[in-house]
Structure 1
Amino acid sequence: MTPHPRTAAPTISLAYSTVTLNGEGRVARETPQSGGRAGVVAAATVLVVALAVALTAVFAGPDVVRVLGLGDGRSTTWKAGIPAEPPPVVLAAMDSQVPMPSQAGVAAVLAPLLAAPALGPHITASVVDVATGQVLYSSEPDAAMTPASTTKVVTAAAVLAALGPAYRIKTRVVAGTQPGEVVIVGGGDPTLAVFPTSFYPGAPRLDDLAAQVKEALGDAAPTRVIYDVSLYTGPGIEPGWDSDATTGGSGAVITPLMTEGARRNPTRYSARFPQPEVQAAQAFAKVLGLPQSAVAAGTAPQGTKELGKVESAPLVRLVETMLLESDNVLADALARQVAIAKGQPASFEGGAAAMKTVLAELNLPVTGYGLVDGSGFSRTNRLSPALLTGVLAMAARSDRAEMRGIFSGLPVAGYSGTLATRFTKAQDGAAAAGLVRAKTGTLTGVNSLAGIAVDADGRALAFAFMADQTTDGGQAVVALDRVAAALAACGCR
């Protein structure tokens, strides 16, 4: 059976208009490898607006643009009035009343692509219709697979369900036991800003916290900084992580007090500080006018006066950033917030156990669940494709507003985040650019892709494809993109 051709749909003219993007606007500075396409910014903007229009029926209501992450107070504004090549075709508004793809039709299209040699001898899959929850395709959907960074989809669901999208993580400073002594208490927010422009949008600033402390002390000068990291227990490195996990620029030792995700400079793959809590305390001492020698570890005394407090961006924004950037440090910090919310130890083990509890409370399938961290860094993690599609379908339901940050945080094919340089060539699924939002997962020998595609008839389909025996990661990525592109092109009735 051949894919159902995409019907003609209206285009959206952006001439002389202004489109406001959220955190994805920041990532859009990383120019996609577009194969020579002109006007990449204008075209990319059209694609994101297209997806917002296409999913109006899923996110029914006045908050569609906000929910899809197309506007907030920290936005970057793009003007799209410069002539460029004709914009790509834009989907019409999605209609949940159109017929679903048939199971036989989806299988006929996907099965040959999933058998591509680049995906290795073992690949599992799940495709679910978002509107009804009906399974349209599956292959070992309950298998316990190494998920790599698709783990972050599950972490996002657990933390949003446990704490709600408006929750903010607090970092406090209290008075110590000696005159002028202050205690900075790590609350688990890894985004505390020290760079002139923070890596994390909307992050609280360490110098703002210091200003509050100075004001609270009045005429008394600060003399010493104690840092309290007692919130977390257990090791800061999960045993299943690769040896370069904290040195290769993708992650850091997980501590409840750190600045900028422990980065040494404001780049995504910056080297990280080996003792993030010490560096953060030293940075705090510096803005208080104290030397590094005035810093020591300790715990906050009970019932002491609070001298200052800052709060993270709302949880929904942290989730969006985690998914879009595939931020491992942020993911493991959020997993520990789930542990705290559920009364578990704030450790790798506690976070994993608490997340499983929350997922079960959401009636999601936890068969095959075996997470040991929140980031997917560990090779001992296990998740099933059915759990991933269950989370994604829930995130796209209009009656689960608290989960919408999952969808709005997913990278857009051919445009943003970890999909910015994928789906850009015709032979590699470029026709699906802007029609697929998905989370990638990559470790040596492991390649996965999980997200939502809008098919040729305008139905939203949640999918998860997971391969754990690949030998050529680059070719496996292309093969997975082709599968997702085929699903987007498919009416498959």
Structure 2
Amino acid sequence: MTKTTGTDPLPDRLRRAVATGQAGLHRTWQHAVLTALLVVLLIPAALLVAPGFIGPEPPAPAPPVPAWQQAPASLSGGQGLSDLDPSAVVPSRESVTAQVEAVLKADGGGTFTGMVQDALTGQVLFDRGGAEGRVPASNLKLLTAVAALRSLGPNHRFRTQVAAGPAAGQVVLAGGGDVLLGAGESADGQVMGHAGLATLAARTIEALLASGVTGELKVLLDDSLFSGPPLNPAWQEGDVAAGEVAPLFPLAMNSARFNAAVTAGPRPQDAAMAAAEEFAFRLRTAGAAAGLTVAAGVERSPGAAQAGGDADRTVLAEVESATVAEQVNLMLQASDNYLAETLGRMAAVAAGGPGSNDGATATVRAQLNEAGIPADAMTLIDVCGLAMGNQVSARQFTEVVRAITSGPDPALREALDGFPVAGLTGTLDTRYGDGSTEAGAGLVRAKTGTLNTVLALSGYVVDADGRLLVFSFIGNGLTPGAAGNRTALDRAATALAGCGCR
């Protein structure tokens, strides 16, 4: 046992604990003093440094920008026009002309013609050779859009059918105008691939089993809905070889592309047979589990296509395309030549004419005349704009855009979503990015047109005063590859977007 003395009343263990506590208290007091000192020193330093993190005081709010002048942060499902105030000020012709003339200049050779009109009244605000026929390039697709919407109707769908063949064990795949078929299952929410060959094959097998068919099947192809040469002789061989267009048939996959995701390069030269062979493959796959086999190879059937109708043909299965309105918008956004030519032929068939190039051009002209847009002076060699022999004036294009944006036919309003939006969508997605045109980004909506010596831009814009303006600018004989020509078009449209031209 440890002995304690009178001079040391605390046990050693307790003494050590007290000593430790005193030392800790002493250190704690020192820390408190240091902490307080640091706080005193840091407060002014923080006040000096803080603005670097939180920034200066916000400036006074800017005046509100009109809704029609606000570039969208994201794209809505529909990009049509909201109601506009008809009392908004119409810009003066002198001011509009001065602004457009200052920027619509050719870079090198060639010339630009153009016209700007007030959409509601038709008042001409700029006119440089607006009545002169010009090679329009893909702006011609605007005319095809009007014809398709009027002749077919915006809600019409094309049917791809499978019918019983003329002999036992035969099935006939009949093209009905859908060239956006997908290889797989039907995709209801899409335009490309809305109708799928795998779905059509599965439905065909179900129908065959229900009717007691057994054994081997033979696939026949009926693509007789279109007539005349499948290739327009006015198209240049180089354009066909490069995949700008391909021989026309009333059924195809991916708008006559090998792959929907690859929109450039060579196309299948027999898109109907390629689709039929894919259908035979899908039919073989679907029939295997049911004990049905499919013979190798596909042959063309001499029978009439479904549009004319073979009254004795028994339809086994069918799939439907996206609506005409949806296809028109895809055609305009992507500037798809194959789809444009198909829609033109289908418009001709719906109007009672032949599904040929001549039928398509005649139908486009007739539908424009019926819509109140004089078209007799036009020269139409095709309906996609690839032919250099086409002749359409800027005035005719502004009248077409007027009809779409504010004319009396509500069916034409369905084409509004097809106009590419500057800097955001379609063939305008990479334009309007420099300092001279960025003010038009999100505001200008226009169809582009591009050939080797041709550039065109036709569309609409709501100006700074809330007035809807339509325009068309067409350059012919331009120096190939001169970058300033496209910029000139975009600057002219941007000038209209920012116009408070009173």
Instruction: Tell me, yes or no, if the aligned pair for 1:210 and 1:287 is still in contact at 8 Å.
Output: yes
Q: Which residue of 2 aligns with 1:409?
A: 418
Q: State the distance in 1 between where 2:347 and 2:193 align.
A: 21
1:263 to 229, 254, 257: 257
2:323 to 290, 314, 329: 314
Q: State the distance in 1 between where 2:345 and 2:276 align.
A: 21
- Cα 1:9–1:238 change in 2 (3 A) is same
Give the letter aligned to residue 467 of structure 1: G
Are 1:159 and 2:148 matched, yes or no?
yes
Q: Which residue of 2 aligns with 1:25?
A: none
Q: Which is further off, 200-209 or 306-315?
A: 200-209
Larger radius of gyration: 2
Are 1:46 and 2:100 matched, yes or no?
no
Give the letter aligned to residue 148 of structure 1: A
Instruction: Tell me, yes or no, if the aligned pair for 1:251 and 1:328 is still in contact at 8 Å.
Output: yes
Q: Which residue of 1 aligns with 2:272?
A: 277
Instruction: Tell me, yes or no, if the aligned pair for 2:90 and 2:467 is still in contact at 8 Å.
Output: yes
- Cα 1:205–1:44 change in 2 (3 A) is farther
2:98 to 92, 96, 108: 108
- Cα 1:351–1:310 change in 2 (3 A) is same
Q: Which residue of 1 aligns with 2:346?
A: 337
Q: State the distance in 2 between where 1:412 and 1:425 align.
A: 16
What percent identity do the matched residue pairs reach? 37
Are 1:234 and 2:228 matched, yes or no?
yes
Q: Which residue of 2 aligns with 1:297?
A: 300
Instruction: Tell me, yes or no, if the aligned pair for 1:437 and 1:451 is still in contact at 8 Å.
Output: yes
- After superposition, give the CA deviation of every residue in 1:370-421 in whole Å (9 maximum; x if it has no partner): 1121211111122111111111111112743211222111100000000000
Q: CA deviation at 1:313?
A: 0.4
- After superposition, give the CA deviation of every residue in 1:228-279 in whole Å (9 maximum; x if it has no partner): 1111111111112122333323322111121111211122225311111111
2:82 to 56, 64, 67: 56
Q: Map 1:90-169 to 2 at 5 A.
A: 94-114=84-104, 116-118=105-107, 120-169=109-158
Q: Which residue of 2 aligns with 1:444?
A: 452
2:219 to 216, 225, 231: 225
Q: State the distance in 1 between where 2:65 and 2:87 align.
A: 17
Instruction: Tell me, yes or no, if the aligned pair for 1:44 and 1:415 is still in contact at 8 Å.
Output: no
Q: Which is further off, 353-362 or 206-215?
A: 206-215
- Cα 1:367–1:294 change in 2 (3 A) is closer
Q: CA deviation at 1:293?
A: 3.3
Q: Which residue of 2 aligns with 1:66?
A: none
Are 1:350 and 2:359 matched, yes or no?
yes
Q: State the distance in 2 between where 1:210 and 1:372 align.
A: 38
Q: What secondary structure is seen at the aligned counterpart in 1 of 2:166?
A: coil
Are 1:453 and 2:461 matched, yes or no?
yes
Q: Map 1:194-213 to 2 at 5 A.
A: 194=183, 200-201=191-192, 203-213=194-204
Q: CA deviation at 1:45?
A: 4.8
- After superposition, give the CA deviation of every residue in 1:178-222 in whole Å (9 maximum; x if it has no partner): 111011111121101115797844621111111121111114245
Q: Which residue of 1 aligns with 2:243?
A: 249
Q: Which residue of 2 aligns with 1:21?
A: none
Instruction: Tell me, yes or no, if the aligned pair for 1:365 and 1:390 is still in contact at 8 Å.
Output: no
Instruction: Tell me, yes or no, if the aligned pair for 2:365 and 2:376 is still in contact at 8 Å.
Output: no
Q: State the distance in 1 between where 2:319 and 2:76 align.
A: 34
1:287 to 282, 291, 294: 282
- Cα 1:277–1:51 change in 2 (3 A) is closer
- Cα 1:287–1:49 change in 2 (3 A) is closer
Give the letter aligned to residue 46 of structure 1: A
Report the RMSD for the aligned CA atoms in angstroms. Answer: 2.4
Give the letter aligned to residue 193 of structure 1: G
Instruction: Tell me, yes or no, if the aligned pair for 2:191 and 2:322 is still in contact at 8 Å.
Output: no
Q: What secondary structure is seen at the aligned counterpart in 2 of 1:258?
A: coil
Q: State the distance in 2 between where 1:335 and 1:456 align.
A: 37
- Cα 1:110–1:466 change in 2 (3 A) is same
Instruction: Tell me, yes or no, if the aligned pair for 1:142 and 1:368 is still in contact at 8 Å.
Output: no
Q: Count how many residue pairs are aligned between Structure 1 and Structure 2.
A: 419
- Cα 1:51–1:394 change in 2 (3 A) is same
Q: CA deviation at 1:291?
A: 6.1
Q: State the distance in 2 between where 1:100 and 1:262 align.
A: 45
Give the TM-score of the pair, scaled to structure 2: 0.79
Q: What secondary structure is seen at the aligned counterpart in 1 of 2:457?
A: strand
- Cα 1:367–1:467 change in 2 (3 A) is farther
Q: State the distance in 2 between where 1:417 and 1:338 align.
A: 24
Are 1:380 and 2:373 matched, yes or no?
no
Q: State the distance in 1 between where 2:316 and 2:76 align.
A: 45
Q: State the distance in 2 between where 1:210 and 1:323 align.
A: 31
Q: State the distance in 2 between where 1:455 and 1:435 align.
A: 9
Instruction: Tell me, yes or no, if the aligned pair for 1:249 and 1:271 is still in contact at 8 Å.
Output: yes
Give the letter aligned to residue 91 of structure 2: P
Q: State the distance in 1 between where 2:67 and 2:352 align.
A: 51
Instruction: Tell me, yes or no, if the aligned pair for 1:186 and 1:231 is still in contact at 8 Å.
Output: yes
- After superposition, give the CA deviation of every residue in 1:93-146 in whole Å (9 maximum; x if it has no partner): x432111011111111112322x1327432211111112222222222222211
Q: State the distance in 2 between where 1:176 and 1:292 align.
A: 14
Instruction: Tell me, yes or no, if the aligned pair for 2:185 and 2:195 is still in contact at 8 Å.
Output: no
Are 1:9 and 2:76 matched, yes or no?
no
Gaps of 5+ in 1: 1-5, 13-42, 58-93
- After superposition, give the CA deviation of every residue in 1:320-348 in whole Å (9 maximum; x if it has no partner): 10001111111000000111122221111
Instruction: Tell me, yes or no, if the aligned pair for 1:124 and 1:139 is still in contact at 8 Å.
Output: yes
Q: What secondary structure is seen at the aligned counterpart in 2 of 1:225?
A: strand
Q: What secondary structure is seen at the aligned counterpart in 2 of 1:477?
A: helix
Gaps of 5+ in 2: 1-61, 285-292, 305-309
- Cα 1:51–1:167 change in 2 (3 A) is closer
